Chain A
């Protein structure tokens, strides 16, 4: 029987735009990179429930309460799809959670900023989800099957999230003077953190090269950032708000906006744990996990007892 050269098979799949599946041979670096990327993504969804969840009990209308609740729940679902995708690579949910709870794993820096007003709920949905969707649309074509399939599902469900955020912003921007101020204030605070979501500039992005080669990233950080600005500025104008960037200018030559870079020093501080809410977010996740321990223990004990009865019967 001829022996299969697995590395060639793997490279061949990438070359032919085919999917790599859990049982297929894959280089160890590819597996590790995927685990890191998918789990970071999953953690971001889960931690991301907190800043938005913060406003569920204070949503100013019944409709907005229901919508926000459904949205935060969706984020939880997305975290779950992604955890299960990561699990196909040979890491358990317990290990993944442990990495989050001990601070070993990273999640998107954006969720370490506080949601101070109701307008922040609009800004998060509109800007943060808008930025996330760009990334996710690209990842629907990622080379790892379970990841790409999770993304397809997530993108389908995310489609209402950005609209929800924009609707909140619209109501504020066209509402009373105080509401409009609230909207501008939120835009001022969320603009640069959102720009950071695409990651450091390409020249300084350590993981990008492999990720592009392996098709678990298909556009660079800077390309996505540019795309986001181009798409968002007209929406800001529609709302009658102002992008908090004096350098922002249309560049006819590149058919895109010139804009100021976010403060990358601040970004580094936040991903190293020094953002305004890093400690609170982790503490909240740890508390939920800790408080849930007896619930899981009860479920486990009950299942064991039932199985014994089942076997005996």
Chain B
């Protein structure tokens, strides 16, 4: 198609320094700089962020619903990865 609205980008916003970047939505833009500017104008209009990432949507590889079992269920029985699995004597207090 000749005329179009440009590729889709995913926008990630960091609310405060030190916090993780969180996906907040998508937009269209024709180049990187435009994607960054559009993200600023669209997703931080109410001072929602201090730092932005923009990623072309087609650069993202996502797990599929078929993966759900094999990808994530095996982790469910690895309780030893969580701190609550271990007993610490009361006398030690917080660890």
Contact = CB atoms under 8 A, between A and B. Distances in A.
Direct interface between A and B, CB < 8 A? yes
Interface of A: 4, 6, 9, 23-25, 73-74, 77, 80-81, 84, 87, 92-94, 97, 149-150, 153, 157, 293, 296-297, 299-300, 302-303, 306
B19 interface: no
A73 B4 CA distance: 22
B1 to A, nearest CB: 6
Given A25-B65, A302-B31, A84 B46 contact: no
A94 B5 contact: yes
Contact of A300 (B6, B8, B63, B66): B6
Nearest to B31: A303
B27 A80 contact: yes
B14 interface: no
Given A293-B3, A296-B3, A303-B31, A23 B25 contact: no
Contact of A153 (B25, B28, B30, B63): B25
**Interface of A: prevailing SS:** helix
20 contacts: A4-B65, A4-B66, A25-B65, A74-B45, A84-B8, A84-B26, A87-B26, A92-B4, A92-B5, A93-B4, A93-B8, A94-B1, A150-B25, A153-B24, A157-B46, A299-B30, A299-B31, A299-B34, A303-B6, A306-B31
Contacts of A23: 62-65
Contact of B4 (A80, A157, A296): A296
A62 B1 CA distance: 43
A84 B25 contact: yes
B42 interface: yes
Q: Name, among A84, A153, A302, the residue most crowded by chain B CB atoms within 10 Å (CB to CB).
A: A84
**Interface of B: prevailing SS:** loop
Given A25-B65, A80-B42, A87-B26, A296 B6 contact: yes
Interface of B: 1-6, 8, 24-28, 30-31, 34, 42, 45-46, 62-66, 69
A93 B7 CA distance: 10
A300 B30 CA distance: 6
A63 B8 CA distance: 35
B6 A299 contact: yes
A27 B50 CA distance: 40
Q: Name, among B1, B30, B42, B62, the residue most crowded by chain A CB atoms within 10 Å (CB to CB).
A: B30
A157 B8 CA distance: 23
Nearest to B42: A77
A97 B5 contact: yes
Contacts of A9: 65
Give 9 closest A-B pairs by Cβ, nearest first.
Answer: A299-B30, A84-B26, A303-B31, A93-B5, A303-B30, A24-B65, A94-B4, A293-B3, A23-B64
